[in-house]
Structure 1
């Protein structure tokens, strides 16, 4: 009996320390998450691909499956081509985010860059870009009420302006972008952003 009480006391102490330690870790993680979130600029946080809800992800998957149904039925798109990156940003300041979809794989990418889609919040096509290298940038200037885009193609940044209905399809033939302000631009579809399967 005398030996059992110290062992039980020792085990109880370890259990209590473990619970307290786990609780402290959970609290410190919550604090860390809050601190990290508040440290991110609002525009970047709001447009992070990770901030896209499941509804948007499902909408994009449906759009891609519908758009490329013929190629899929003939097994012309390999598994690498069945991935995409997602980035949302309110380009026309109407309170709704447009959706950038960065495609990958040999079906959609070549030496000059990859195909990228720009969809409205309901999933309808606004623009289809060719030869785009990721990441993309949102300019601090606007044309016809829509933010200008800075897209890299063939190693150079090009300024893409909205024409009232769409953006030009091929960035490589647009004017080379000359930075007009030292302010860093909002970026999306970066290398750290995960690819999703469709």
Structure 2
């Protein structure tokens, strides 16, 4: 009888110990999950442009990646390094916006970059860049306005662009290697681009983060 009582006591002890361990494990797992969720929320709430009044979560997903901004920043610093060293580029011109979009449907997003300020803009428009996903320059557009509208039609495997230049929308087509650098020399689009088409660099109507380089 004593052996039976001892056996039952041991089983009860180990059962209670096991329950405590499981409870602690569940509590530990819950804490870890909570930390991961909190970390994810904190990362998502990083404001890419704290200089404006736009809430952190209001920017478009294609125009606010800090990683993409860093890539563009390196490209711009290298592309304009001589004039930067000579202080030819004023502070207002050291700002940019961007819009990522897969123009040739190869699974990699190209990057349209909009520049501003007296160094990059004149009466005819501003300089815009098209980069690949590694930050290499595909096209450097001159006298270009916003937005850049992306058409559904493709030429040589790349989407046609409608760029506002010379007071008109111009049809800008890929020639196999690049897009024409001066949109004002391209054919005029006779109609207003449809509302259903993606509009890149449309900072006047959509929340865009401005980055510094």
TM normalised by structure 1 equals 0.72
Deviation at 1:184, TM superposition (A): 2.3
The answer as to whether partners of 2:149 and 2:193 remain within 8 angstroms in 1 is no
1:72 is paired with a residue whose SS is helix
TM normalised by structure 2 equals 0.67
The change in CA–CA distance for 1:181 and 1:111 in structure 2 (over 3 A counts) is closer
Q: Which runs of 4+ in 1 moved over 4 A?
A: 179-183
List per-residue Cα deviations over 1:73-118 (Å, max 9, x = no partner). 1100001110001111000000110001111111000000000000
Cα RMSD (Å) of the superposition? Answer: 1.8
The change in CA–CA distance for 1:179 and 1:82 in structure 2 (over 3 A counts) is same
The change in CA–CA distance for 1:58 and 1:182 in structure 2 (over 3 A counts) is closer
The change in CA–CA distance for 1:179 and 1:80 in structure 2 (over 3 A counts) is same
1:168 is paired with a residue whose SS is coil
The change in CA–CA distance for 1:131 and 1:146 in structure 2 (over 3 A counts) is same
Count of residue correspondences = 152
Gaps of 5+ in 1: 1-29, 31-44
Counterparts of 1:52-63 in structure 2, within 5 Å, are: 53-63=65-75
Deviation at 1:140, TM superposition (A): 1.4
- Quick check: 1:84 aligned with 2:96? yes
The answer as to whether partners of 2:95 and 2:116 remain within 8 angstroms in 1 is yes
1:87 is paired with a residue whose SS is strand
Among residues 192, 195, 198, which one is paired with 2:210 in the alignment?
A: 195
- Highest Rg: 1 or 2? 2
Among residues 98, 101, 116, which one is paired with 2:110 in the alignment?
A: 98
